[in-house]
Chains A and B, each alone.
Chain A
Amino acid sequence: MKFLKSGLAVAMAAFMGLAASQASAADVELAKNLRIVIGSKSTGGDTYQNSAIVAQALADKLGINVKVDAVGSSAAFKTLRRISNGSTIMIFHDQSYLGYLYGVKGYFNIFEDFTVGPTVAINPGNSYLVPKSSPYQSIEDIIQACASDKKIRVAIQPGGVSEIGFSALKNAIKLRYPGKEANLVAVNTGSQSDKNQLLFDGQADLINGSVQANEQYTQLPAEDQKAMRFVWLTARPETIKQTKPEGFGDTSQEHLLDFVSPKASVTQDGEKDFTFDKEFFFIYNKKMDPAIVDALDEALGEIYAEGKIQETQKKSFFIPNFKPSAEAAAYLKDKMGQYEVIIDSIK
């Protein structure tokens, strides 16, 4: 249903875009040199890649220069706050509000302080892994282990995307076996290599990782110290179904689905399963001219209607996911509300 709706929106935006593209160029002064600041400092990471793909498409479509600067979240928010003329915009993902929910310094309520723009893509890779030799075969085994008072140590990066799955898991244990959630403990660490290292050292039983970074480790023979196994992908099943049938690396889409709800079930409220898709979206200065918001929506609508960007995104294991600003903001606000409940319940 939702999918249909966004499809319709795309079609409509595309239609309106076709009708209005001539006119809009005249009434909205889009910056000739658009700067996109991103919430990550890495130029090798998924945020940068995603933004680079979108930036390239926008530059081709609008005939302007678009460049992506990996300034990191606090500098990006700071710059965005200062510049309201639309010459600088931001692209980030769910971290932008999760950081706020977890109370990390330097994060704000983006829905109050900024304007949330369109979503462009999903990184479906957020996952949890165990050593290949682990006694736990599934995420359910881990829940049961906690229920029977075994301590499970989970390596995560605190305060955001890496922690939300951990919080959800804790919440699920609390719902099913109240009081036992204390058996699930966080080992707070940093980068992916640090998380892997904790697993190799036997300092963690479960780690947060990603399909992209960890898939090859799951292909190693069990006797290799580095061998791992997926137990849970937090993505929605319909997201994984949009990947190519070959899936990623040597793991087919069908196999990936084994680790996704409903097969790997972590309940959110006793009824439906918790899911988390890392979605990339635009963030604007609150005072930016609404006409620019519309113009960018329109341009992106046309880009997605053409269908070329989807291929590029899928090649890098991103799931295309265009929602125009208004729809995206409402959707993300709801998403934040749901996670707020989870985080509050395990505080």
Chain B
Amino acid sequence: MEFLSYLSPMFFALVGFGVIVGIIFGAIPGMTATMAVAVCLPMTYALDLINGLALLLGLYVGGISGGLVPAILLKIPGTPSSITTTFDGYPMTQKGEGERALKTGITASLFGGIFSAVILFLFAPSLADFAIKFSYVEKFLIILFALTVIASLSRNLLLGIFSGVLGVWFSLIGSYDISYGGNGEYRLMTDAMVPYLESGFSLLPVLIGLFGLGTIMQEAEKGIREEVGKGKKLDLNGGTPFSFSVFKGEMINLIRSSSLGTFVGMLPGVGGSAASVLSYTQQKNFSKHPEKLGKGAPEGVIASEAANNGLTGGALIPLLSLGIPGDSTTAVLIGAFTLQGIQLGPLFIGNNLDTWNTMMVALLFANLVMFFVMFFAIRTIVKVITIPKYLLYPGIIMMCVVGAYAINFGIMFDVWTLLFFGLFGYLGQKVGLEVAPFIIGFILGKQAEVYFVKSLESFGSLTIFFTKSPIAMVLWVLILISVVFSIYGMIKQKKNNNKHA
């Protein structure tokens, strides 16, 4: 227990500070955990490794968690991984259950965070060995699995799938990036577009454009009326108040979602947003009331939030036991280690037991701080929706601009992307395009391409997707189950609708 000597009050103060700053970053639409860690990285130059990590891990946990605030209250995902939180979180707010949704989300986040931290602590090296069994083929199947969510999210199956594939199409615009092993050639655009679209559209501006600007345009069309401010919805606790009994019967959901988050987090290159998407689909497939999901069911918020905090521990697994980041935020964390001259790789944990142990303490503590800070700040946070829209919306646009401009460290085109996709979302919905499937297709499109094409380049045959490994076959079974469930759900819903009609 030598490492206990490293745990100074300063250490805990830094974790706490990190969490609070992280939450603020996460809560601003367009500012992400990655951004929070990146901008605070220089602050750690002055600290030693352990205190530096305390700050950064706090930021990481806070940043991932903060994303649920705008997702629930404003229907704008603060970070890409909280997209699925909007599906049920915002309808809850509309019912006057904003506070309940937030508290549910935060508690699920706490569970996911602690769960993944424990998994990380106990099984990191062996899980890393498992993770490297996933080659291009298996990773493609994981992405395909996540894409099946499109079917279950669609209001109209065909239009939903079309929107999803269109999202994939948009994600491919630009060059076939050499940093993923592509050949760097341009496609899907004209020469005139090259100067702007060389590297394609960035996810974050697309996301906040669709959800942020797009929504504001819809409201502007309706004349920005203050329905929320007046009448029944002024009462922030109009619906069912929060109590922990909301988790009754959700234990399986919590564990499944946290495990999925941890698992997706530990696969390098699959990316964080897939985690909450996957667990949301699974919840929908296994739920007793799948028809309620998407209309303000707490279980949806639980699935999404448990998964995206489960990500934190998961993404640290390959980082600490292979030296390879599991997501974009942990990629920034690498910088903190190398700056201090600490080498990451398969020997890290064994060589740096004290650092490892203190990191675990920081992670657990960060999750607790996150929970208490947010749980008790909610009463204030939730008042955001009482701000009159004529003041709120211009402010949101301004913050979206900041986020879009800053996400790639100062690129004006990302701000224009915001407007473009705002319009696209606004007009698209008029012709039946579905935003949620579209954005999921967009998020997963690039990876689907790389893993699909690289699998074929290596193996030269389509059969490899079925025969590569037992893991591949298990994944196929999961994909099939998921598809069958969503079609079955669709049919059942139709029958119900017909009955009511």
Is there direct touching of A and B in the complex, by C-beta distance under 8 Å? yes
> If A43-B332, A78-B195, A225-B132 touch, does A188 touch B339 (CB 8 Å cutoff)?
no
Contact code string B181-220 (vs A, CB < 8 Å = 1, else 0) = 1111110000000010011000000000000000000000
A86 and B129 CA atoms in complex are apart in Å by 49
The interface size bin for chain B is 35 or more
Q: Does any Cβ of B come within 8 Å of A232's Cβ?
A: no
Q: Does any Cβ of A come within 8 Å of B73's Cβ?
A: no
* Chain A, range 199-217, C-beta contacts under 8 Å to B: 200-201, 203, 212-217
Contact code string A71-101 (vs B, CB < 8 Å = 1, else 0) = 1101100110000000000000000000000
* CB < 8 Å neighbour of A105 from B38, B136, B175, B409: B175
> If A72-B408, A194-B269, A216-B323 touch, does A203 touch B341 (CB 8 Å cutoff)?
no
A71 and B409 CA atoms in complex are apart in Å by 6
Q: Does any Cβ of B come within 8 Å of A169's Cβ?
A: no
> If A75-B408, A215-B343 touch, does A203 touch B135 (CB 8 Å cutoff)?
yes
Expressed in whole angstroms, the minimum distance between the Cβ of A53 and any Cβ of chain B is: 9
Q: Does any Cβ of A come within 8 Å of B399's Cβ?
A: no
> If A194-B269, A216-B347 touch, does A43 touch B41 (CB 8 Å cutoff)?
yes
Interface pair B184/A220, CB less than 8 Å apart? no
Residue of A nearest to B410 (CB): A69
- Among A105, A187, A217, A224: residue with most chain B CB under 10 A: A105
Q: Does any Cβ of A come within 8 Å of B394's Cβ?
A: no
Interface pair A105/B345, CB less than 8 Å apart? no
Q: Does any Cβ of B come within 8 Å of A190's Cβ?
A: yes
Residues of A close to B341: CB separation below 8 A: 315-316
Expressed in whole angstroms, the minimum distance between the Cβ of A55 and any Cβ of chain B is: 9
Expressed in whole angstroms, the minimum distance between the Cβ of B405 and any Cβ of chain A is: 11
* CB < 8 Å neighbour of B339 from A49, A75, A190, A213: A49
A72 and B198 CA atoms in complex are apart in Å by 11
Q: Does any Cβ of B come within 8 Å of A44's Cβ?
A: yes
Expressed in whole angstroms, the minimum distance between the Cβ of A245 and any Cβ of chain B is: 15
Q: Could you say which of A127-135, A156-164, A328-336 contacts chain B?
A: A156-164
A38 and B164 CA atoms in complex are apart in Å by 34
Interface pair A75/B199, CB less than 8 Å apart? yes
Residues of A close to B41: CB separation below 8 A: 43
Expressed in whole angstroms, the minimum distance between the Cβ of A185 and any Cβ of chain B is: 11
Interface pair B343/A105, CB less than 8 Å apart? no
Q: Does any Cβ of A come within 8 Å of B450's Cβ?
A: yes
A192 and B322 CA atoms in complex are apart in Å by 11
A63 and B450 CA atoms in complex are apart in Å by 46
Contact code string B315-326 (vs A, CB < 8 Å = 1, else 0) = 000100011110
Interface pair B135/A201, CB less than 8 Å apart? yes
Interface pair B408/A157, CB less than 8 Å apart? no
Q: Does any Cβ of A come within 8 Å of B348's Cβ?
A: yes
Q: Does any Cβ of A come within 8 Å of B268's Cβ?
A: yes
Interface pair B175/A106, CB less than 8 Å apart? yes
A70 and B42 CA atoms in complex are apart in Å by 14
Interface pair B408/A44, CB less than 8 Å apart? no
A217 and B129 CA atoms in complex are apart in Å by 13
Besides the known contacts A105-B184, A105-B185, A216-B343, 12 further A-B residue pairs in the complex with CB atoms under 8 A apart: A43-B331, A45-B335, A71-B411, A75-B408, A105-B186, A160-B178, A190-B182, A193-B322, A197-B132, A203-B458, A219-B346, A226-B346
Please, could you name 24 A-B residue pairs with CB atoms under 8 Å apart, sorted by A? Answer: A35-B410, A37-B409, A44-B335, A71-B410, A105-B184, A105-B186, A106-B184, A158-B183, A159-B183, A188-B457, A189-B181, A190-B182, A193-B318, A194-B181, A197-B132, A197-B135, A203-B458, A216-B344, A216-B346, A216-B348, A217-B346, A224-B346, A226-B322, A249-B345
> What is the interface of chain A, defined by CB distance below 8 A to chain B?
35, 37, 41-45, 48-49, 52, 56, 69-72, 74-75, 78-79, 104-106, 157-160, 187-194, 196-198, 200-201, 203, 212-217, 219-220, 224-226, 248-249, 315-316
